[in-house]
Amino acid sequence: MDFRQPLLEKARWRPWEYALWVVAFALPLLVPSHALMINEIAIVALFAMSLDLILGYTGIVSLGHAAFFGFGAYTAALFAKHVMPDPTIGLVVAIALSAALGAVASVTILRGSDLTRLMVTLGTALLLLELANKLDWLTGGADGLQGVVMGPVLGVFDFDLFGRTAAWYSLSVLLLLFLLMRRLVHSPFGATLKAIRDNRLRAMAIGIPVVSRLAVIYTVAAAVAGGAGALLAQTTGFASLDVLAFDRSADVVLMLVIGGVGWLYGGIAGAIVFKLLQDTLSTVTPQYWMFWIGLILVLLVLVGRDRLLKPWTWFGARKAVKP
């Protein structure tokens, strides 16, 4: 009779989730010297979560998610430079335009195999990179877009040099969008996405409108990624070509995979681990950070990435999965 109980149970907020967010918001106060780092982690966590929507929940392998991140970043920077410096309005505009771009780009991912999707997502990102590079009268080309001055957040809080305002601003946006995404993936809509991921043909057979679902989730993911990009541009006051670069798309996939796909907190966990690793490793060997990242990727896949977060499976023979 009460079949909804266990389903609702799954979506309920756990105590540790409240604790996590309280700690996150307290961190800029506790370790003020690392506020910039916290800001960065919040931004990439948001970016990784947006990718999780399409990769983890819907099963679309994308190597070009930086397209939307970079588009959001450039939009926010240009908006602040030419229209008005208010960050909140700039953020909303960037999200709206990224969503529009995502809606257009979603046409490209509806058909074909994994390889085709990989190619068109990669192609979209490279297309935008090439555009940003060539339209140098607008974007500053390879020098980056400089001279972006942001106004105070909500007209009250100025961005300070130590990044505390920035950290809280990014954390607030992260929390807000996280709540929306959490609601989305636990809704019946989210359940249909997982059905599409697990078996597209069967999902179609039970009457799920696969094409429109894919288009909608791709648009949402693009919007959130655009928001993350906008946060980066606004809090650093700078946008350069590397927001669109291939490395960024690859990094975000890695982050998500470290944290675990199909789980929104995976994005956050991955972002924290990735940024800390990057920070440590690049102080040791600044130039060869790429080698370590490659090694981590290879080992991660060889060991099996679902085992990373389950230390009790690391040793001993792999048991057969129960049918």
Partner 1 sequence: MLTILFDGIAYGMLLFVLAVGLAVTLGLMNFINLAHGAFAMAGGYLTVFAMQKLGVPFLLCLPLAFLVVGAAGALLERTLYRPMYGKSHLDQVLFSIGLAFMAVAAVDYFVGSSQQNIHLPEWLRGRTELGDGALLLGMGHYRIFIIAVCTLLTVVLQLILSKTRFGSRLRAAVDDPRVAAGLGINVNVVFLLTFAVGSGLAGLGGALGAEILGLDPTFPLKYMIYFLIVVSVGGTSSITGPLLAALLLGIADVAGKYFIPKMGAFTVYLLMILILMWRPQGLFTRKGGK
Provide the binding-site residues for partner 1, judged by CB under 8 A. Answer: 55, 61, 63, 107-108, 111-116, 118-120, 122-124, 126-127, 130-131, 133-134, 246, 250, 253-254, 257, 261, 287-298, 300-302, 305
The least CB distance from residue 249 to partner 1, in Å, is 10
The least CB distance from residue 244 to partner 1, in Å, is 13
The residue (of 134 and 183) whose beta carbon lies closer to partner 1 is: 134
The least CB distance from residue 2 to partner 1, in Å, is 36
The residue (of 23 and 107) whose beta carbon lies closer to partner 1 is: 107
The residue (of 130 and 143) whose beta carbon lies closer to partner 1 is: 130
Q: What's the rounded Cα separation, in Å, for the pair 243 and 182?
A: 26
The least CB distance from residue 306 to partner 1, in Å, is 10
The residue (of 21 and 246) whose beta carbon lies closer to partner 1 is: 246
Q: Where do the H-state alpha helices sit in the chain?
A: 4-11, 15-30, 35-55, 66-82, 87-105, 114-134, 136-139, 164-186, 188-198, 200-205, 210-236, 246-259, 264-284, 289-303
The least CB distance from residue 161 to partner 1, in Å, is 34
3-class DSSP assignment, residue 145: strand
8 A C-beta contact, residue 210 and residue 59? no
The residue (of 160 and 247) whose beta carbon lies closer to partner 1 is: 247
Q: What's the rounded Cα separation, in Å, for the pair 122 and 119?
A: 5
Neighbour count for residue 298 (Cβ, 10 Å): 10
The number of C-alpha atoms within 13 Å of 37 and in the hemisphere containing its C-beta is 14
